[in-house]
Amino acid sequence: MLRVRLTEKDGRIETVKISGDFFLIPEDSLAKLEKMLEDTRLDEKELKLLVDRFFRGTNAQGLGVSSDDFVKAILSTKRA
């Protein structure tokens, strides 16, 4: 299960912290993803592009979690 805590400003992510019971290697790549997400618009297309770019660019490998899971979890904070 993915849990996301974020602060937003004018529809953009200011800070984001992702936690959960997933596997992601290399483990320190999660901090990179959180950093990349800063200042990104809370928009499905934009988030999807960024998370996909993260996986391609870092060769990170998720298990029990996909690119779409990250996007969905981030967007769910918007509706809450």
Partner 1 sequence: MVETWRLVDLEYRDDPFRNMSVEEAIPRAVGEGNAPNTVRFWHNSNTIVLGCFQSADLEVNFDACKASGTEIVRRFTGGGAVYHDAGNLNYAISLKKGHPLVPGNDLQLVFQKLSEGTVEGLKSLGVNAEFQPINDIQVDGKKVSGAAGSIRWGTIFHHGCILVASDLAILGRVLNVPRLKLADRHVASVQKRVTTIRDELQKDITTRDVRDAIVRGVEKVYNVRLVEGQLSKSEEAKAKELYDTKYSSTKWNLEQ
- Write out the residues near partner 1 by the rule CB under 8 A: 3, 17-27, 30, 61, 63-64
- Least distance in Å: CB of 38 to partner 1? 18
To partner 1, the closest distance from the beta carbon of 11 in angstroms equals: 25
Instruction: Catalogue the long-range contacts made by 5-13 (C-beta closer than 8 Å, 24 or more residues apart).
Output: 5/77, 6/74, 6/77, 8/42, 8/78, 11/41, 11/42, 11/43, 12/39, 12/40, 12/41, 12/42, 13/37, 13/38, 13/39, 13/40, 13/41, 13/42, 13/74
Measured from the CB atom, is 22 or 55 closer to partner 1?
Answer: 22
Indicate the residue among 36 and 43 with the shorter CB distance to partner 1.
36
Q: How far is the CB of 14 from partner 1 (least distance, A)?
A: 19
Nearer Cβ to partner 1 (11/57): 57
